[in-house]
């Protein structure tokens, strides 16, 4: 992580100093400007900065409950192949996560399976743009329209990605496609803070106001509480750090894209399945995830050759101890992915040349 921020060190220090010297640490110009800048990036009318990505998603669902759109026990469809936080946001609100299997090619929610999962209690679908690949297609939109479901994007891994088809609002950038979206500024995300942070995006004025109130003790104005809320604020120092890094996001995403293309072009080993590059959308490559049946052996071989890898994610939510009682149907693709996925190095300071060198090592496996 220190490496990830090395290119911006001087600017980050200067921006932090400015906030410290100014002496306003919450709810001031840095958070306001950050909200305006990332709302412009995601092309939404509203952005509410919050404490982290999980809280962003929790607040959206809680706001829908306060607005009478969801009730305890209502169901939200979530892809089974995701980080557990997507599922936690649903169950935390007294809502029921209904797990949907994913597609082999996108590794994202398979919209062809949605219709069979819908019940009279279904209220929303939460597509996750996992690994930076947009999850948005005609079938998803059609099912949501037919059943009057909200679409809440988990955009934690895909800020700045562009989908192949337009969202509800006619725009293409993830985070602005559905009814609302949550994002994470966890340090390793493409736009990472120097600590925790997150944001909610929406074009819905009422939802934005409700989320903003809920994140600030449930108050709509000072010392006036309309909800039993939380404290989920982003602070000025993190907002200032994020505003520095936002200026380089596009450039960093372009480098990741070049690294991904270098890997895909150079990896040529029948044991290693590379991820699909979709030319009709813009993936931002939060992770570059290959599939290998002999995963442990492959990772040990790479480690021996100085290449560090990771797994996103080895244990899907429905196999976690905390969800032992969660009912779900068959999830064969998710379970196969959990056994086979390996994330190759892609974040700064990895370059396309590094990717070629790593691909050569992989090809000798
Ligand atoms: C990181 C992440 C989250 C949670 O964000 P935090 O800021 O860590 O709370 C939620 N969903 C997905 C898909 C993520 O990758």
* Cβ within 8 Å of residue 260, ≥6 positions away: 275, 277, 283, 285, 288, 346, 355
Q: Of 192, 227, 246, which residue is a domain's last?
A: 246
Ligand 1 pocket: which residues have CB below 6 Å?
52-54, 82-83, 85-86, 128, 154, 156-157, 184, 186, 196, 198
Residue after which a domain boundary falls, among 217, 246, 275: 246
Angstrom distance (rounded) from CA 197 to CA 53: 7
162 with 95, same domain?
yes
Closest ligand 1 atom number to CA of residue 89: 10
Query: Are 34 and 124 part of one and the same domain?
Result: yes
* Ligand 1 pocket test, candidate residues 54, 128, 234, 289, most atoms within 8 A of CB: 54
> What atom of ligand 1 comes closest to residue 186's alpha carbon?
7
- pLDDT for position 4: 83
Asked if 224 and 351 sit in the same domain, the reply is no
- Angle at the Cα of 163 (from 141 to 62), degrees rounded to 5? 55
Shared-domain flag, residues 34 and 175: yes
What spacing in Å lies between the alpha carbon of 322 and ligand 1's midpoint?
17
Nearest CA to ligand 1 atom 10: 85
Whether the CA torsion 87, 202, 51, 130 is positive or negative: it is positive
Of 228, 246, 264, the last residue of a domain is: 246
* 121 & 266 share domain: no
- Report how far ligand 1's centroid is from the alpha carbon of 361 (Å): 31
Ligand 1 site-directed mutation target among 50, 97, 133, 156, most atoms within 8 Å of CB: 156
The domain that contains 348 carries what CATH number?
Answer: 3.90.1150.10
Angle formed at CA 132 by CA 129 and CA 134, multiple of 5 degrees? 45
Cα distances from 246 to residues 40, 41, 62, 249, in angstroms, run 12, 10, 28, 5
User: Is the domain of 30 the same as that of 114?
Assistant: yes
**Of all atoms in ligand 1, which is nearest to the CA of residue 85?**
10
Residue in the structure block whose two tokens are 């800048």: 37
- When divided into structural domains, the chain yields a total of 2
Output the six-digit token pair for 176.
């602005």
Residue 129 CA to ligand 1 centre (angstroms): 11
- Residue 156 CA to ligand 1 centre (angstroms): 5
Res 1: pLDDT: 44
Query: Are both 282 and 197 inside the same structural domain?
Result: no
Calculate the CA 212 to chain-centre distance: 20
CA–CA distance, 124 with 141 (Å, rounded to integer): 12
Question: What's the confidence (pLDDT) of residue 332?
Answer: 98
C-alpha 42 – ligand 1 centre gap (Å): 18
CATH of the domain at 181: 3.40.640.10
How many other β-carbons are positioned within 10 Å of the β-carbon of residue 29?
13
Centre of ligand 1 from the C-alpha of residue 119, in Å = 27
Q: Are residues 174 and 284 in the same domain?
A: no
Based on the fold, state whether residues 96 and 157 are members of the same structural domain.
Answer: yes
Low-confidence ranges of the chain (pLDDT < 70): 1-2
Q: Which domain, by its residues, includes 356?
A: 249-363
Where do we find the tokens 């490496």? 3
Burial annotation 38-57 (CB, 10 A radius, 16+ → b, else e): bbebbbbebbbbbbbbbbbb
Burial label for 205, CB within 10 Å (0-12, 13-18, 19+), is: exposed
pLDDT of residue 357: 98
Which H, E and C letters describe 261-326, residue by residue?
A: HHHHHHCCCCCCECCCCCCCCECCCCCEEEECCCHHHHHHHHHHCCCCCECCCCCCHHHCHHHCCC
Q: Give 278 Cα–ligand 1 centroid separation in angstroms.
A: 24
Please tell me whether residue 99 adopts helix, strand or coil conformation.
strand
The Cα 191–Cα 198 span in angstroms is 10
Query: Which of ligand 1's atoms lies nearest the C-alpha of 55?
Result: 9
Q: Give yes or no: residues 188 and 254 share one domain.
A: no
Pocket test for ligand 1, best of 49, 53, 233 (most atoms within 8 A of CB): 53
For 248-257, b where at least 16 C-beta lie within 10 A, e where not — what string? ebeebbebbb
Q: 257 and 189, same structural domain?
A: no
pLDDT digits (tens, 9 = 90+) for 156-175: 999 999 999 999 999 999 99
Specify whether 95 is located in the same domain as 226. yes
Q: How far is the CA of 56 from the centre of ligand 1 (A)?
A: 9
What would the two tokens of residue 130 be? 């996992």
Question: What is the enclosing helix (H) or strand (E) of 40?
Answer: helix 29-42
């Amino acid at each position: 992580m220190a490496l990830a921020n090395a290119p911006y060190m001087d600017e980050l220090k200067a921006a932090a100093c400015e906030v410290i010297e100014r002496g306003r640490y919450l709810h001031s110009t840095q958070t306001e400007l950050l909200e305006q800048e990332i709302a412009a990036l995601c092309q939404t009318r509203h952005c509410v900065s919050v404490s982290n990505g999980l809280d962003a998603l929790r607040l959206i669902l809680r706001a829908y409950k306060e607005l009478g759109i969801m009730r305890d026990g209502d169901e939200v469809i979530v892809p089974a192949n995701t980080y557990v936080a997507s599922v936690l946001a649903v169950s935390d609100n007294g809502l029921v996560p209904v797990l949907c299997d994913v597609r082999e090619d996108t590794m994202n929610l398979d919209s062809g399976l949605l219709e069979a999962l819908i019940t009279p209690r279904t209220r929303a679908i939460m597509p996750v743009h996992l690994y930076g690949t947009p999850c948005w297609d005609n079938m998803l939109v059609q099912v949501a329209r037919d059943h009057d479901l909200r679409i809440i994007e988990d955009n934690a891994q895909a800020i700045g990605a562009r989908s192949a088809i337009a969202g509800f609002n006619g725009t293409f950038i993830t985070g602005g496609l559905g009814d609302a979206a949550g994002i994470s500024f966890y340090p390793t995300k493409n736009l990472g803070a120097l600590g925790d942070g997150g944001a909610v995006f929406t074009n819905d004025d009422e939802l934005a106001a409700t989320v903003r109130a809920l994140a600030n003790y449930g108050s709509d104005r000072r010392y006036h509480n309309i909800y039993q809320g939380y404290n989920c604020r982003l602070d000025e120092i993190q907002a200032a750090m994020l505003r520095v890094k936002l200026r380089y996001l596009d450039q960093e995403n372009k480098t990741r894209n070049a690294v991904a293309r270098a890997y895909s072009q150079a990896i040529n080993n029948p044991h290693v399945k590379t991820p699909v590059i979709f030319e009709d959308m813009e993936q931002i490559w939060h992770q570059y995830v290959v599939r290998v049946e002999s995963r442990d052996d492959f990772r040990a071989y790479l480690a021996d050759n100085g290449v560090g890898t990771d797994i996103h994610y080895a244990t899907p939510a429905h196999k976690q101890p905390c969800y032992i009682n969660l009912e779900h149907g068959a999830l064969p693709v998710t379970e196969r992915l959990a056994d086979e996925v390996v994330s190759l190095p892609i974040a700064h300071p990895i370059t396309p040349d590094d990717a070629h060198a790593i691909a050569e090592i992989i090809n000798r496996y």
